[in-house]
Amino acid sequence: MQDAKEEVRSRLNIEDVIGEYVQLKRAGRNFKGLSPFSGEKTPSFVVSPDKHIWHDFSSGRGGDIFTFIMEVEGVDFRQALEHLARKAGVELEVYDDNGGKERAETKKRLLKALNLATDYYQQSLIKNPHAVEYVFKKRRLSKQIVTDFRIGYAPASGDALVQFLEKKGFTKKDLSEAGLTNQYGGDMFRGRMTVPLMDSVGQVIGFTARTLTDDDPKSPKYLNTPQTMLYDKSRHVFGLSQAKEAIRKNDYAVIVEGNLDVISSHQVGITGVVATAGTAMTEYHLRALKRLSENVRLAFDGDKAGLAATERAIPIAELTGVELTIVSLTDNAKDPDELIQKDPALWQQAINNSKPVIDWLLDQYEAREDMSTVPGKAKFTDAALRVIRLLQNSTVKQQYIQLVADKIGGIAASLTERMAQLKDEVAEKPALKQVVPAARETTYDEYSYQDNLLALALIDASTHELFKDVIVETFAGEERKAVVKYLMEHPGKTIDDTPKGLQKYDTYVKIVLLKADARYADWNDQDRYFETARLLRQVTTEHKQKQKDILTEQLRDAETMGDDAKASEIRSRINDLIKEIQSAKK
């Protein structure tokens, strides 16, 4: 079930799942809330989207998305997996003992079907004069760009593609799983220009298809492949396989709303351009682009939907560490494609003149309000402060507050107070789900201080010298011993993610790293070093104390049995331990 587990994990945001039970608020890169397992009044429950892990400092519990559901619902792993699979839309039936192999074979078969469909659509384009007229004359696409993006045409007949692929040995189930058929088993796309959706290496995983005319109000302009085993619109970046080289070279990516905007850009040599599914940009999209460049330029429309999408992008960019700027279209162009038809140089100029996201939003807010009136200034101020408060850098935040104050002739300090009063403009959340009472029973981990010690060591390589004489057996639990061994074998190496040698203990390592981030990230080097030394002494002392307790029990047994020689030997060992313990406390 490992494949099923990873598939479910990849489709769900841990903060969204936990947010159904715990009211979470952003705290830097993480989220914090009140523990559902204790009656605490100060939030110490932390969720890390980066590490896909949670930890409750009040009870010592922690783990991944599955252990959380096990805890709050009082269920076992299988039940938790089934619960989350339903939420993620994952069918567990395909993951049996041979599930991994079968799933790989299924993916391979679906990719082959989609590739053949792409070839079929390309041949159909050449044979259809109406489609050729639309693609090459109306859309002004070149033969080269049609080839590069594998653009085609889906015949208007009801099942032409189905018949073609069935002759190639594919079943109706195959075609349905590939997203190529409709609910009646016929062709999904009919009488439309087809644009393949490709993954990052250029494999076709789906299609978007546009009508050749805009005359029929009942027919949607675009049809897209539904979510399948291969295609997930929340993760797919259109044009990435064609754009990645330019993104690396230019050190920035441009995100547009429409797939045809991407194609038009590439046709005129502006190739670092990609698209998401409209304005529905997600964390996954930005993370995929960040692998190529940390600079992302958004070219969404300046209408209400585009403005809202830009506002939503700010916390996502903050979370992923992406530097976000906004591209404004010139010459009253409604989209990049229209601007390119006027003059490609205007589109490149607009990209070059992108503005920081907050500056762009402030310009938009200012333009829509009457800044000569008090109500207009008030509306502008509240809109501005709601986006400024999303910023994590306090210095940058204060600079923008001062900028707003200058625009309205106000005082920055009063705006800071106002910002604290504003409520988030989000729909009221449904009531939190109830945690199973049995899961509220807390247990005290007497070795949690050892986790604190390891947390320090993982993020501060200068402390590793203190571990050179450490006895691994003084640590409790297999996972703690494994981390200590790793530190001793890899001195001087800071760890920010689970290394290969500790993959078996991935969840534990991520929890310890989360502890490090929450507790020690802001400590200076000297304080971390001294705290490491103190905790190491505690580990040694408590280990010796436990040895003393064990020897005391053995002494009682020896005295009861009348074994004076053994009793004398044990007393000597106890005395040595007492001296060592007292010496360590000095």
**Digit-coded pLDDT (tens) for 495-538:** 888 888 899 998 899 999 998 888 888 888 899 899 999 998 88
State the pLDDT at residue 586.
56
What pLDDT does residue 421 have? 80
Confidence of residue 99 (pLDDT cuts 50, 70, 90): low
Q: If you average pLDDT over residues 469-485, what whole number do you get?
A: 90
**Mean pLDDT of the 409-424 span:** 82
Out of 16-25, 296-305, 362-371, 421-430, least confident range: 421-430
**3-class secondary-structure state, position 497:** coil
Phi first, then psi, for residue 47 (nearest 5°) are -120, 130
What DSSP character marks residue 274? E
Q: What confidence score (pLDDT) does residue 233 get?
A: 84
Amino acid at 255: I
Identify which has the larger pLDDT, 53 or 432.
53
Burial 407-437 (b: 16+ CB within 10 A, else e): bbebeeeebbebbeeeeeeeeeeeeeeebee
Residue 581 clears pLDDT 60, i.e. is over it? yes
Confidence of residue 163 (pLDDT cuts 50, 70, 90): very high
What does the pLDDT read at residue 398?
92
Ranges 40-54, 92-106, 156-170, 543-557: which has the least confidence: 92-106
Amino acid 100: pLDDT: 60
Q: What is the assigned CATH class of domain 104-224?
A: alpha beta
Better-predicted residue by pLDDT, 433 or 402: 402
Instruction: State the pLDDT at residue 428.
Output: 46
Contact assessment for residue 338 and residue 304, using Cβ atoms and an 8 Å cutoff: no
Cβ pair 435, 36 in contact under 8 A: yes
pLDDT at 436: 61
- Residue scoring higher pLDDT (399 or 500): 399
Q: Is the pLDDT of residue 280 over 80?
A: no
Strand (E) positions, 295-345? 295-299, 323-326
Q: Measure the CA–CA gap between 258 and 167, rounded to whole angstroms.
A: 34
- Secondary structure of 443-478 as H, E, C letters: CCCCCHHHHHHHHHHHHCHHHHHHHCCCCHHHCCCH
Q: What's the mean per-residue pLDDT of the chain?
A: 87
- pLDDT greater than 60 at residue 98: no
Mean pLDDT of 392-410: 90
Which contacts (CB < 8 Å, 24+ apart) does range 123-128 have?
123/152, 124/152, 124/153, 124/154, 124/155, 124/160, 125/151, 125/152, 125/153, 125/193, 128/153, 128/155
Please report, for the chain, the start and end positions of each structural domain, with discontinuous segments joined by +: 2-94, 104-224, 240-421, 448-585
Cβ atoms of residues 204 and 150 within 8 Å: yes
Separation of alpha carbons 294 and 279, rounded Å: 20
Q: Check residue 1 and give its pLDDT.
A: 62
Q: DSSP labels for 279-290?
A: T---HHHHHHHH
User: What tokens were used for 169?
Assistant: 């040995």
User: Span 240-421: which CATH code?
Assistant: 3.40.1360.10
Whether 444 contacts 407, CB under 8 Å: no
Residue 311, helix vs strand vs coil: helix
Say if residue 430's pLDDT is above 70: no
| Residue from 42, 12, 22, 13 nearest 435 by CA | 22
Contacts of 250 (CB under 8 A, 6+ apart): 272, 293
Cβ atoms of 238 and 262 closer than 8 Å: yes
Could you read off the pLDDT of 214-259 as tens digits, one per residue?
777 777 889 999 888 899 888 899 999 999 999 999 999 999 988 9
Q: How much is the pLDDT for 95? A: 64
Write the single-letter amino acid at 67: T
Determine contact, residues 312/286, Cβ cutoff 8 Å.
Answer: no
According to the CATH classification, is domain 2-94 in 3.40.640.10?
no
Which tokens is 509 given? 């390592």
Nearest alpha-carbon partner for 270 in 168, 145, 382:
145
Contacts of 321 (CB under 8 A, 6+ apart): 290, 294
Q: Count CA within 13 A, CB hemisphere, residue 11.
A: 22
Give the pLDDT confidence score for residue 266 in this predicted structure. Answer: 97
